[in-house]
Amino acid sequence: MHGAKVGATTTITTNLYKMLADQLDISAVGDEPYCSRLKRHWSKMQRLIQAILDIVALKTYLAKVGGPVSFEELQLDPTVVNNSLNEAHNLRDCCTGHWLLNKYKTSYLDYADDRLPV
């Protein structure tokens, strides 16, 4: 079950990271820890994020090997998934994509949305 969750999570996380790369206004980022390095390397990070396979390709590959491509297929409650997107960054003190998403969001993250609240 863990591997199936990781596969489904990869599609959601990839999609969110790509939206973050497109939508985050780096000039609005403050001076908190990690931010000076983030600003310095943001353009490279954007290029790397955009080079990741798109969500359609990821889902296609997962389906080819018989894996679930969504949390609906795993019969997981969307509320649990959304709560995880909004709280998981608190597990460790490090700068991750989820930390960035949650640091600069303007409202609750919902993985079904096609726009980030940043």
Domain residue spans in the chain? 2-103
∠ CA(17), CA(25), CA(14), 5° rounding?
5
23: tokens are 């939508």
Confidence class for position 118, pLDDT limits 50, 70, 90: low
Residues 6+ apart with CB under 8 A from 103: 32, 89
CB atoms within 10 A of CB 85: 21
Which tens digit of pLDDT belongs to each residue from 2-52? 888 888 888 888 988 998 899 888 888 888 778 888 899 999 999 999 999
The separation between the first and the last C-alpha atoms of the chain, rounded to the nearest angstrom, is 32
Q: What is the pTM of this model?
A: 0.81
pLDDT tens digit string along 71-94? 888 888 888 888 888 898 888 888
- What's the confidence (pLDDT) of residue 72? 83
In this predicted structure, the answer to whether residue 112 has a pLDDT above a threshold of 80 is no
3-state secondary structure at position 72: coil
pLDDT at 116: 58
3-state secondary structure of 38: helix
